Amino acid sequence: MQTIENGKAIAETLLQLSGLYHYYERKLRSHILHDPLPNHVAIILDGNRRWARLNFLNADKGHFMGADKAEELLNWIHDIGIRITTLYILSTENLNRNDEEINNIYDLLCVKLQKLYNDSRIHKRKMKIKAIGNVKLVPPELQKILYDLEKATCEYDSMFLNIAVAYGGQKELVDAIKRIAGMAVAGDIRVEDINEKTIESCLYTSHLPQPEPDLVLRTSGEKRLSGFLLWQSAYSEIVFMDVFWPQFRKIDFMRAIRIYQNRVRKYGL
């Protein structure tokens, strides 16, 4: 595995040095813009720690490089024209990692989100930013910057960025069921009137014009959703890419979109 990954890295470096990379990027971009783009792309940012191990680095370096890559991604989605993006940053299970690692992740998130808060581009792009998940489980400092981002962008509706932090798909459904049960007890809704739209209105993504992702993308080669958007992804096209998140490039993103465009979407069997 390590030999294969090293070979890929060398090949990619040679491609970029040759100038062919930028030619291929422009060509691929022109191709995907000829067909309908996914309106909502959800991404599981996976492989930071394995990338670090592969490069004989500690996990913190992997998370740092992954955070930098997420910053790059925001430019890619704007350049290509993706309106809604949902990023799976931190699951509820991730919170059980050792204290040093999880605290370093919290600190890194605070730094990067504060930088995003001060980035004039989110206002120029009218990007609404919202945290989805059980945010009360993360430290107060992180809660505050997430709240500040939401408050500063709450009136925007041109683009949407959802940050899944302390997120669990099953917990989201439990929270939705509790809300609906409360509405029923209060007499605000009849049990026989509960339907799919009722559930969708109680999910973390209810603020979105399109809660359902057209495309769910996971990096690192793992082929599972890990509880990500369980309800919303029922009919999503799913693409798994064999590249660790810190290595992810714009051409990889565009390739995933091209795979999506080449599929015939089916809503059912």
Catalytic residues, which ones?
A: 46, 94
Tell the burial category of 190 from Cβ atoms under 10 Å away from its Cβ (0-12, 13-18, 19+): exposed
- Judged on CB neighbours under 10 Å (0-12, 13-18, 19+), 174 is exposed
